[in-house]
Amino acid sequence: MTTKADLIVVGAGPGGSAAAYHAAQGGLDVILLDRKEFPRDKPCGDALMPHASSEVALMGLSDWLSEPSHGRFRGLSLYTQSARFGEALPPTFHGPYGYVVPRVQTDAKLLEVAKTAGARFYEGVRVTDILRSADGSVVGVEAISNGDASRYEAPLAIVADGSGGSLAGERKARQNVVARRQYLANVTGPDQDHLHIFATEDMNEKGAGYGWVFYFGDGRANVGAGVSTQTLARTGRNLKDFFNRLLEEPMLAEWLKDSEPVGPPKSWSLKTGMWGAKRAGQGLMLVGDAGSLIHPISGEGVGYAMESGRLAAAFAHEAHARRDFSAKLLAGYERGLRRQRAREHLSGLALINALPNLAILEPLFKVGEQDRNLRQTFIEIFTSDAPVYGLLRHPKVLRTLLFRTATQ
């Protein structure tokens, strides 16, 4: 079976659905493929940072975001070895709120909107190869569905098959973070309109990591932990052990004493920081997790996936308008991503790679208890609205960090 279109999008997560939506809205004939059948869950922290919420709203889903069952957060609380503080989200172009929505719901809704815009969706289709002509031009993809082979032909493909996908694997960065989460009901705790971040001694003595509690609006919470793969290598421990130890932290244990699990814990891997991935070539663009567009500090990826999907759709329109699907033209997609997001991604990755552990930042966190401007900078970094070097705006912080680094 052969099906033809203007554009093939592989993967119907946030990046793929956003790309398909914006491309179809502009008049392209779009085929959207996914190996899973929907609705399907994907383990995630479930937090939609303000910039991610803005992308969801651009797809006409503002009212859906505001449904009572969805958590809405207006601030962030940080708990470290020596410091504890909370602060409201700083004002941004993206609005004063973020949301916490289960990915099974987010992905299903974004897919629904993409289909309404005109994208033709085929589920249970596993793409096995990108097809090229004799001169190397992309001409479509080869796939398997229910054991049968099929072809989908188009001069342009957008790959959005996630960090674990194998398509165009040689273009992807290496895994460098692992995470685990569980849904729990009846989680108590203060300020349930905040994201709660735990930078514990256990996760940061020999590496970098943090735990979290993100509240939905229906009495449940997403409780999880993420650590770098360097942390696993240095400690010889596994992710499950770090997750279980987090649940035993005295403060969190108190919050969880009456909680009940809603399903088992689930784990996943991440490729963060943009570095090491090639996101464009002849007839090809990679978006979202497939392009390593995951923040190296927060682990947030939904907003970046949707941003990159929207930009890829714009270049798909440009390519068709010019009838030019060359690597030279599509390199503009890569440049656009770097102009928009390379500062926070690369500076965050550099910080994580440079520091032996996050404990070295404890004096900075302690200063943050008394310095509101510094607290806001921490939140801007975590919510993906500022690069790490924004800390250099605070001279006392810079002196403290340089002293601590010199004495390690």
Instruction: Tell me the average pLDDT across 37-41.
Output: 94
Q: How far apart are CA 277 and CA 270, in angstroms?
A: 13
Amino acid 165: pLDDT:
65
Do 207 and 309 belong to one domain?
no
pLDDT digits (tens, 9 = 90+) for 335-390: 999 988 878 877 777 777 766 667 778 888 888 899 888 888 888 888 877 777 67
Of the listed ranges 132-146, 155-169, 280-294, the least confidently predicted one is 155-169
Residue 158's contacts (CB-CB under 8 Å, 6 or more residues apart) are 7, 8, 9, 10, 16, 19, 284, 285, 286, 287, 309, 312, 313, 316
Overall average pLDDT of the 40-50 stretch: 94
Asked if residue 340 and residue 298 are part of one domain, the reply reads: yes
The C-alpha atoms of residue 177 and residue 175 are separated, in whole angstroms, by: 6
Single residue among 270, 295, 325 that ends a domain in this structure: 270
Domain count, the chain: 3
- Mean pLDDT to the nearest integer, 115-123: 98
174 against 203, higher pLDDT: 203
Could you tell me if 187 and 324 lie in one domain? no
Q: How confident is the model at residue 262 (pLDDT cuts 50, 70, 90)?
A: very high
Range(s) of the domain holding residue 323? 2-46+102-173+272-351
Q: Evaluate whether residue 397 is within a structural domain.
A: yes
Residue 128 falls inside a structural domain: yes
Place of tokens 């939506």: 21
The average confidence (pLDDT) of the chain is 90
Q: What is the pTM of this model?
A: 0.92
Amino acid at 187: V
Q: Does 285 fall in a domain?
A: yes
